Amino acid sequence: MRPEADFATVDARVEALNGRYRHHAARDVLAEALDAKETGRVALVSSFGAESVVLLHMAAMARPDLPVLFIDTEMLFPETLDYQVEVADRLGLTNVQVIRASTTQLALHDPDGTLHQRDTDACCALRKTVPLQAALTPYDAWITGRKRFQSGTRAALDFFEAEGDMRIKINPLAHWGPDDVQDYLWNNKLPRHPLVAKGYPSIGCAPCTSKVAEGEDPRAGRWRGKEKEECGIHFVDGKMVRGPVRETIE
């Protein structure tokens, strides 16, 4: 279902959605957004990381055939790949689509798999941002698991936000805190990512994710030592968040 003409711009649709669902619970935001006239065609994007199973469970309850886009950067932990299969099967998700960078682009820009050592921004663009944007082309909106507490760039996150003038981003868990996540996992007896118990509360690609010590920010292990908070697939105030790209991926 395409968005109605009354809501021609992304900003207008976002304003209408935030006004309507501002005081709704996360599960209701997700379920009702799937059928809202402003959202059109919707996909869920999941890393199958530390907390991903919460949103995936909500999606499975609302619409098990919802398109779920999983970006395999080909640098993920083996545990993440195994967990993706386990969770999809257990929750009955029937439309998980594995997204990868083209072999041509990998051969051209990262033939030896060391781009992340020289330029993390360019590596994220090559292996994650560009493939995801291509995969999202048929959709008018996409669902993320982002939450306000996760980083400074997410502190004012709304349920709905504009991704430039391209599409709507839906953040059902925007207002959740860490305790809400843990309560949901426990109450629904959901399987945990195996690396969480080993000291990885936030999980990305293996070369760019390290263990987090007690008392550290949960995302401290992501791109440790670098001024980087996001991988580049997200926008803040209409701008991609990841820092300057020094190597262009076309």
Q: List the structure tokens of 95.
A: 């439309």
Q: Is 123 a catalytic residue?
A: no
For tokens 């996540």, the residue is: 181
Q: Return all residues near 249 (Cβ < 8 A) that are at least 6 apart.
A: 105, 109, 122, 125, 126, 129, 130
Instruction: Please report, for residues 11, 99, 129, 135, 196, the alpha-carbon distance to residue 80 in angstroms, rounded to integers and kept in the order given.
Output: 35, 14, 19, 20, 11
Are 91 and 56 within 8 A, CB to CB? yes
CA dist 222 and 208 (Å) reads 6
CA angle 44, 46, 47 (to 5 degrees): 165
Q: Catalytic residue among 124, 205, 208, 231, which?
A: 231
Closest CA to 72 of 35, 17, 127: 127
Q: DSSP characters for 84-112?
A: HHHHHHHHT---EEEE---HHHHHHH-TT
Q: List the beta bridge partners of residue 160.
A: 170
Active-site residue list: 231
